[in-house]
Structure 1
Amino acid sequence: MLADGELGRALVVAAHPDDIDFACAGTVAAWTDTGVEVTYLLTTDGDAGGDDRDGDGADMALRRQAEQRAAAAEVGVADVRFLGYPDGRLTPSLELRRDITRVIRQVRPQLVVLPSPERNWERIAVSHPDHLATGEAALSAVYPDARNPHAHPELLTEEGLAAWTVREVWLVGSPAPNHWHDVTATLDRKFAALARHASQIDDLPGLIRRLRTGLAANAARAGLAEGRSAEAFQRVATG
């Protein structure tokens, strides 16, 4: 596992715009405050989101990309990338694995945050099919694809992207969390990031109340003092 102060670059992979901000924006803000370089990678274009819309799916995709960039800026992230796969129709294909592997080799992170590929029966909403597909493809990209110079050989021969070994993975939405990150100091920035997703959130105060309750429960489970808030992960070494 990475020691304290050892993290320099992190990649956060998610299916849809807003997924990262629900799951781990508080942790990301804490990282960027200490100089960690964070990249966001969204696998879908988000075109199937939003119940109240004036345009079509393409318009919604563009709006959600803009919202995600604005949300990322709230927590100190400037590098936001989109793969553009159709929202709601994602599969853990070899093409998706290759596209995530490409970004891992470009960014060369020590740590990757990604959705759990395991269905969570206690919190069904976190197990959206796109989340599961993104998690499976991203985990396969971490191991074995990104570290294997013979996987997706065109990345090396045509793009010059050498193999890279990610040392640690943090799963979000896992049914078996084993790590809780204290985000009390960055909670307001997490909520500011979520507020940027206006196309998806119609009752921000109500959402914040529910999130405060859940984040406080995470902190209690972690044994933190009363009044603290925490985001939950399953922390996995890749060695």
Structure 2
Amino acid sequence: MLSENEINRVLVVTAHPDDVDFAAAGSIARFTDRGVEVTYCVVTDGDAGGIDRELDNGGMAELRRTEQTNAAKIVGVADVRFLGYQDGTVVQSLDLRRDITRVIRQVRPDLVITHTPERNYRFISPSHPDHRAVGGCTLDAVYPDARNPYTFPTLLHDEGLAAWTVREVWLSGGQTPDHHVDITATFERKLSALHAHASQIDHVEGFDDFLRTRSSRFAAEAGLGEGSYAEAFQRVPTA
């Protein structure tokens, strides 16, 4: 497993704008505070989200891209990439594996954070089909695609993207997390990043209390003291 000082570049691959902030914004803020380079790769523009249907026909997609870009700035991330897949219809495919592999070879991260590809029967929200498809394709892109120069050869021959081995993956949203990050010091920035997604949460009554309760529960599972907050992941060694 990677130690903290071995993580210099992080790539976060998620299905929708706001996924990274629900799962990992507190951890991301910790990384950027110590100078780690973080890149977000968002597979869809989130155009099927929100309740304002007057923003159909591209308006919601544009709004959500802006919200994610603004949320990223709050936790110190400037590199946000959107792959443009259609929200709500993502499936595991060679095309998506190739597109994620491309970003991995461009960014060359030590750590990748993404969704678990498994269904969570304890808490259904992380099990959105797009989440599971993106998590599965990201794991396939990490192993074997990104490290194998013979996979998607045009990435090497036409784009000059050499093979890259990611050393560890953190999965969010699973039933059996085994790694907790203390985000007590960065919790308020996580909350602010989520509030940047106004189209998704402004109508949710008691949102702040919900987030504090969930983050407190993760902290209790980690054995942290009262008043602490945490994020939870499953660590997957890959090298």
TM-score (norm 1): 0.98
Partners of 1:88 and 1:205 lie apart in 2 by 24
Moved more, 141-150 or 2-11: 2-11
Partners of 1:209 and 1:106 lie apart in 2 by 39
Classify the secondary structure of the residue corresponding to 2:199.
Answer: coil
Identical aligned pairs, as a percentage? 62
Contact 1:110 / 1:166 at 8 angstroms: preserved in 2? yes
Name the counterpart of 2:99. 99
Amino acid at match of 1:192: S
4+ long deviations beyond 3 Å = none
Partners of 2:212 and 2:187 lie apart in 1 by 9
Structure 1 residue 132 corresponds to structure 2 residue 144: no
Name the counterpart of 1:15. 15
Name the counterpart of 2:61. 61
Partners of 1:25 and 1:8 lie apart in 2 by 17
Contact 1:195 / 1:204 at 8 angstroms: preserved in 2? no
Structure 1 residue 71 corresponds to structure 2 residue 71: yes
Amino acid at match of 1:218: F
Give 1:89-238 correspondences, 5 Å limit. Answer: 89-203=89-203, 206-238=206-238
Shift of 1:18: 0.6
Partners of 1:97 and 1:47 lie apart in 2 by 22
Contact 1:111 / 1:170 at 8 angstroms: preserved in 2? yes
Classify the secondary structure of the residue corresponding to 2:130.
Answer: helix
Shift of 1:226: 1.2
TM-score (norm 2): 0.98
Amino acid at match of 1:63: L
Partners of 2:229 and 2:64 lie apart in 1 by 27
Shift of 1:202: 2.2
Structure 1 residues not aligned, in runs of 5+ = none
Contact 2:195 / 2:202 at 8 angstroms: preserved in 1? no
Partners of 1:27 and 1:121 lie apart in 2 by 25
Partners of 1:4 and 1:162 lie apart in 2 by 26
Classify the secondary structure of the residue corresponding to 1:104.
Answer: helix
Structure 2 residues not aligned, in runs of 5+ = none
Classify the secondary structure of the residue corresponding to 1:5.
Answer: helix
State the aligned residue count: 239
Contact 2:191 / 2:208 at 8 angstroms: preserved in 1? yes
Shift of 1:175: 1.2
C-alpha root-mean-square deviation of aligned residues, in Å? 1.0
Structure 1 pair 63–153 and aligned structure 2 pair: CA distance change class (3 A): same
